[in-house]
């Protein structure tokens, strides 16, 4: 991938879901590409959402020590977007313009802040274009 891209929380969740082998493989490939190319990124919100799910809702939740290790090795190197007033303002504007929830709009605003051209998620409309950002569902057949 030659452009900056954003990974939504569900990519990280599926990378741990051995019940969904295809989604797990695709997710792991995207995370590895993000780390290897340094073109992929996430925001603080993705870290918060993932750690909450991983330590509380996984079939076998991550231990705190395992969560800290994953945070250090994978999430921290990818996190490039941190909260600021501009992201919140952009998220509110996006929510109004697109009808997406505030939290989905916050993910989109973070992708914009990272100058991303693509966002990988299954939660938003696949193929939809918003101001130069393309939403891609990597699990769509």
Digit-coded pLDDT (tens) for 89-130: 999 999 999 999 999 999 999 999 999 999 999 989 899 999
Give mean pLDDT, residues 33-37. Answer: 97
Domains and CATH numbers, the chain: 5-136 (3.40.50.1010)
Q: Confidence band (pLDDT; 50, 70, 90) for 8? A: very high
Q: Is the dihedral of CA 19, 121, 11, 108 positive or negative?
A: negative
The order of strands in the sheet holding 118-120 is: 79-81, 40-43, 5-7, 118-120, 133-136, 129-130
pLDDT the model gives residue 3: 87
Within 8 A by CB and 6+ apart from 76, the residues are: none
Give mean pLDDT, residues 63-82. Answer: 98
pTM: 0.96
19 has a pLDDT exceeding 90: yes
């Amino acid at each position: 991938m030659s452009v900056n891209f954003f990974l939504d929380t569900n990519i990280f969740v599926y990378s741990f879901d051995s019940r969904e082998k295809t989604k797990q493989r695709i997710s792991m490939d995207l995370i590895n590409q993000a780390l290897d190319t340094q073109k992929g990124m996430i925001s603080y919100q993705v870290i918060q959402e993932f750690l909450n799910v991983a330590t509380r809702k996984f079939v076998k939740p991550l231990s705190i020590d395992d969560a800290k290790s994953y945070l250090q090795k994978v999430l921290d190197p990818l996190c490039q977007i941190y909260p600021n007033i501009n992201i919140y303002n952009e998220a509110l504007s996006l929510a109004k313009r697109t009808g997406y929830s505030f939290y989905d709009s916050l993910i989109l605003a973070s992708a914009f802040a990272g100058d991303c051209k693509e966002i990988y998620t299954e939660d938003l409309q696949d193929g939809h274009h918003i101001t130069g950002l393309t939403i891609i569902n990597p699990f769509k057949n």
